[in-house]
Amino acid sequence: MRFSALIGRELRLSLRHGGDTLAVLLFFVLAASLFPLALGPAPGVLRAIAPGIVWVTALLASLLPLDRLFGADFEDGSLDLLLLSGLPAAAVALAKAAGHWLVTGLPLLLIAGPLATMLGLRPAALPVLLAGLGLGTLVLSLLGTAGAAIVLGARRGGVLLPLLVLPLATPVLIFGAGAAAAGSPRAALLYLAAILAAALPLCPLAAGAALRAAVE
């Protein structure tokens, strides 16, 4: 099986479960909308914390579909066939991460702009926020894929998964939200790019090793 064919398979499966993507987007919007209700409609307060609101809610929303990332394939035996398809286990994990980003990270990125504008984010900071989210959601998909593979087959894996991924995603959250709030975002965006460059080879390798251990 070719790598592109595996990504296409993930997209077709996601279309069959389109409610998962809709649930992610609804959670993202509803969770972000709770902050003005809790903090009050003061424009200055919302404008100051808008990048943090968008980043925190995007991080939590990206965790929602992770328990299904390998679970269904593991239960019906498809995962064994994928690992025997001729692709390395790391490539299978990378394709899963790409599929997760395309059906979760990309929609979050598209809706983040209107949501940040609703929260009063300065127009000049919006391109920086979206650039950071573009890098950050890729990292979150890679970290989430590795975490989902590590807890695969474990008892109460759905509980363990956020506990594993959230601490690893903390630097992404710090630099991502800081980039949109800083006067000079270049350094924070470079840190995000460096984290992505490190996660791109390491997370699929870790996920691939965990997948092989889960099916043995």
One DSSP character per residue, 29-52 reads: HHHHHHHHHHH-S-HHHHHHHHHH
What is the structure's pLDDT at 215? Answer: 81
**pLDDT band with cut points at 50, 70 and 90 for residue 21:** confident
pLDDT tens by residue, 164-191: 999 999 999 999 988 887 768 889 999 9
In the predicted model, what is the mean pLDDT of residues 131-160?
A: 89
What is the structure's pLDDT at 189? Answer: 93
What is the structure's pLDDT at 214? Answer: 83
**pLDDT band with cut points at 50, 70 and 90 for residue 138:** very high
What is the structure's pLDDT at 1? Answer: 61
Q: Determine contact, residues 95/6, Cβ cutoff 8 Å.
A: yes
Work out how many domains the chain is built from and give that number: 1
- Note down the domain range covering 46: 3-215
In the predicted model, what is the mean pLDDT of residues 185-200?
A: 94
What is the structure's pLDDT at 134? Answer: 94
More confident residue, 207 or 74: 207
Structure tokens at 4: 């592109």
Least confident interval from 75-89, 126-140, 193-207: 75-89
The secondary structure of the chain in percent helix, strand, coil, rounded to multiples of 5, reads 85, 0, 15
What is the structure's pLDDT at 206? Answer: 94
Report pTM: 0.91
Mean predicted lDDT score pLDDT of the chain:
88
Residue 98: closest CA among 173, 8, 215? 8
Is a pLDDT exceeding 90 seen at residue 203?
yes
pLDDT tens by residue, 35-86: 888 887 777 888 888 999 999 999 999 998 888 888 878 887 788 888 888 8
Q: CA dist 46 to 28, 40, 51, 118, 123, Å?
A: 17, 8, 9, 10, 14
